[in-house]
Amino acid sequence: MNSGLASGLRGQPPPYPRTWTLDTRPQTQNIMPKAEISWKRVTDDGVKLQVNARRVSREWRFFQREKRFDQWQPVPEPPLEDWLELLDAVQRLITRRRLQPEHAKHLRRRIRERFPEAKI
């Protein structure tokens, strides 16, 4: 069942060069998000924003953009409104068994750390 080409090259290196590449980008760019949750909101100025939260390892990273084809811009300090929207979405995903209850506990703890005056 072997073709003539395969049997003729047995024991020899492949006819094409093997190349390996090493990804030298910073490690933070290589990490893929484990969960992504998106929603829309309107700012106090009346600007419509699309907000995206991504869970990378144990941290949530927030991004926002105005229009569909704009680039996602990282939000270093998201407002309480975004954190509460994320908590609501995480709770809904837990009831659908797509996230574990520990995610909501960890998220509540993060919200209390950042906003001690918030009532959750």
pLDDT at 120: 81
Q: How far is CA 92 from the centre of its chain?
A: 18
CA distance linking residue 37 with residue 34, whole number of Å = 10
What's this model's pTM, rounded to 2 decimal places? 0.71
Domain locations in the chain as residue ranges: 29-114
Residues 6+ apart with CB under 8 A from 40: 48, 49, 50, 51
Q: Tens of pLDDT along 52-64?
A: 999 988 899 999 9
| Cα(101)–Cα(82) distance, integer angstroms | 20
The predicted pLDDT at position 15 comes to 65
* pLDDT tens digits, 61-117: 999 999 999 999 999 999 999 999 999 999 999 999 998 999 999 999 999 999 999
Residue 61 host element (H or E):
strand 59-65
For residue 97, the one-letter residue type is R
Q: What is the pLDDT of residues 27-53, one digit of tens each?
A: 555 566 678 999 999 999 999 999 999
Q: Note the pLDDT of residue 51.
A: 96
